[in-house]
Amino acid sequence: MLLCILGWGRGARAAKLKFPTTAGAPVGPVFDRPSLPLRSCGPSVCVHASNEALTPARRAFNDAWDLVVDTLRVTPPLLDGPAGGDPRLDVYVVRGLEDDIAIGREPLDRTLDRDGAPAFVLIREEVVLRGGCSLAWNAARALARASAAGVDVAETPTMVDGFARRIADLACPVAPPMAELQRTPWKGITTSGAGAALLARTLDLEYGHGYGAIGPAVLSMAINHRGVIVPQPDDELGPAHFHNHTTVFDVLSTTLSDAASSLDKVLLDVAAARATHAVGPAWEWEIPASTLPRRFAIRRGIEPMGMTFVKIDVDAPPPGDGIELDVAWDMGSRFVWHVLKLDAAGKRVGEVPVPALDTERKLTIDVRRLSGVKTLMLVGVNTGDPLNPFHPDEPPSHAHGYELGVFPGS
């Protein structure tokens, strides 16, 4: 069902801008194209450079086009008319970028009632000259992001980049920077490209076929279906902007529900993968079972879409062969929970599913059958304020905390 939307066609080019607008496409800023002396083109991509980086960049982007557009069926970036020389996608090899790539776009045309626009790519010269996996990965990532600039994706640049990173992994697998992510698990997973890529990777491996198709499918479905410009003089986006619906989370909530799953489950799958990763997360607490009963208050707030991890070392058999976890969280947040059982080798040997609560804010988790269990892991996700669901155009709700009581089973 997800893949059927990938073949949607689009207009050949955006019309000339007729009215000024402060409305910005969410996945690329407007800035001037560089002026470089050399240009070399393939069937769909033209590369601009000032030195010997021209040829390897052209080859890499032609290969990336074959993978991303021709094989994965990601919709090609919008044609840009005479900008850059002709309608093909333009890639500029430059120095001094903060990231390895940057995506620019043409100004928006308000008469089209959409916030998609033709895009162009900047890639760091050092990446091109170094070549290899890094060049292949960044070329595929850049193509996916250039495509998103033209499809009215109602998302943040960070989320788009995360899904583009997963698509790029098909060109050359790049290990996510888990050490960086695991140091601050309480931060929202969608606030960094690496975190959003981990979400996309989990979706692909657990709910797809493992070859990157879910990423472009979800982005293609997260299209701005209500692109009417709304005059709001006092709005922070200026006198005119777009309704950015539908988002990636909107798409996932609907499609996962249709598939008898849920976004809660996906987020808990991501949390479980982080809890058992070789690079462990920053634990809120590490508790020996022999010290129970214990009660704790969270040291920091958990951001919306952030995660929290507690490790319980079963160093002595608890009374009744069980442990009880009492969890209560702040008003204005909604947490979902799961408990993992691991043996002495760190292998998962069981789990305790926990029902999601939509109105209550406290629960007791009764964990039994601890024979052979060396470690319990409590993982939780703050899914945000239930009264104000996450939306890219709105500031996220505040970070929220929780209290935890850990007691021997009765």
Starting from the edge strand earliest in sequence, which strands make up the sheet with 89-94, in order? 38-41, 45-49, 89-94, 119-124, 101-105
In this structure, are residues 224 and 154 in contact, taking their beta carbons and an 8 Å threshold? yes
What residues have CB less than 8 Å from 61, skipping those under 6 apart? 42, 45, 47, 89, 91, 121, 139, 142, 143
In this structure, are residues 383 and 338 in contact, taking their beta carbons and an 8 Å threshold? no
Location of structure tokens 């991303």: 68
Same topology between domain 3-261 and domain 278-408: no
Task: Sort residue 304 into left (φ over 0), alpha (ψ -120 to 50) or beta.
Answer: beta
Query: Rounded to the nearest 5°, which phi and psi values hold at 290?
Result: -70, -15
Question: CA-to-CA distance for 329 and 120, rounded, in angstroms?
Answer: 46
What is the assigned CATH class of domain 3-261?
A: mainly alpha
Angle between helix 157-168 and helix 132-148 axes, rounded to 10 deg: 130
Q: What is the Rg, in whole angstroms, of the alpha carbon atoms belonging to the chain?
A: 24
Question: CA-to-CA distance for 309 and 154, rounded, in angstroms?
Answer: 31
pTM for the full model?
Answer: 0.84
> What is the pLDDT at residue 8?
27
- Every domain of the chain and the residues it spans: 3-261, 278-408
> What is the pLDDT at residue 20?
36
Q: Are strands 89-94 and 119-124 parallel, antiparallel or unpaired?
A: parallel
In this structure, are residues 108 and 23 in contact, taking their beta carbons and an 8 Å threshold? yes
CATH match of 278-408 with 3.30.70.80: no
> What is the pLDDT at residue 36?
96
The pLDDT profile of the chain, 410 residues, written as one tens digit per residue, is: 233 322 222 222 223 333 333 344 455 678 889 999 999 999 999 999 999 999 999 999 999 999 999 998 898 999 999 999 999 999 999 999 989 999 998 887 656 666 788 999 999 999 999 999 999 999 999 999 999 988 888 788 889 999 999 999 999 988 888 999 999 999 999 889 999 999 999 988 888 877 777 888 888 888 876 555 555 555 444 555 566 778 888 888 888 888 888 999 999 999 999 999 999 999 999 999 999 999 999 878 999 999 999 999 999 888 888 999 999 999 989 999 999 999 999 999 999 989 999 889 999 999 999 989 999 999 999 998 888 877 766 777 889 999 999 999 87
